[in-house]
Amino acid sequence: MKEYFRFLLIGLILLPAAGWAQTKLKIENQRVVLGETLNYKASWGILDIGSASTKIDKRLYTVGSRICFRIDVKGQTDGLAKLFYVHDSWISYIDTASITTHWSSRSINEGAYKLDETIHFDHLNKKAEVKVLDKKTKVYVLKKIYDTPENIRDVIAGFMVFRLVDLSKYKNGDVFTINGFYEDEGYKIDVTYLDKEPIKTAHGTVMCYRVRPSIPKNKVFSGKNAINIWLSADKSQTIMRIQAKMFVGNILIELKQ
């Protein structure tokens, strides 16, 4: 059950990017707003089950010789869902020019299961060095070095790319493919642009782009077309709503007021 909540609170918000890397998409990095914080709530029917947030730091950082954004993502269960305790967080340092990841970390805290992990991305040699925290020594030790595609991105950089692709240039039925690396596995996902429509939100009626990622077979989502995502039809392309059909029912994630 904890696996469901991890996907619901964080995975869904980041899912359109889930470690994707893509060289052909035109990315408009000037859309990134320093200091932006977005807060989301997750509900299952009439029940509020969790919350998540994404925050772009107000200042820029240097990793090696590269100038980077720092983005923090957090998610947790709320209400009755606290019975399945989840409190996860991610940090990512992302190149301001290429929107590729240079260093990232994640801290997974789900009841008895805990994981602290860092990843250093070597773009020159197309490698990802993964280290995990040894619970006894409190030192990060090498887990494995993975081969990666060019311009690899972690889930957070992928999330940014999804918002930085100009959807106003797409028409109904257009598909773009994104591939990459997440949790030791490679993915290739087709994203279909469906339409442009107004939706009612906590911010009033908002005109949105609706897209649908094709989901790989898994134990969480019901079918490859299980998810619909609405992004505001403006320069920010903020994710306003995510609707997902799960094996345990339908889940809704919405931007809070």
Residue 20 has pLDDT above 50, yes or no: no
| Residue 219 DSSP SS3 | coil
104 neighbors 119 (Cβ within 8 angstroms): yes
pLDDT in tens, 237-252: 998 998 887 766 788 8
Residue among 166, 239, 235 nearest 201 (CA): 239
Evaluate if residue 79 carries a pLDDT over 90. Answer: no
Report the Cα 106 to chain-centroid distance in Å.
Answer: 12
What are the pLDDT digits (tens) for 107-157? 988 878 899 999 999 999 999 999 999 999 999 999 999 888 787 778 788
Q: What is the pLDDT of residues 166-220, one digit of tens each?
A: 889 999 999 876 655 556 655 666 788 999 999 998 879 999 999 988 776 666 6
Number of domains in the chain: 1
Q: Is the pTM of this model over 0.85?
A: no
Separation between Cα atoms, residue 216 and residue 220, nearest integer Å: 10
The confidence band for 223, taking pLDDT boundaries of 50, 70 and 90, is: low
Cβ(54)–Cβ(13) under 8 Å? yes
Determine what percent of the chain falls in helix, strand and coil, rounding each to the nearest 5: 15, 55, 35
Q: Which domain holds residue 23?
A: 2-255
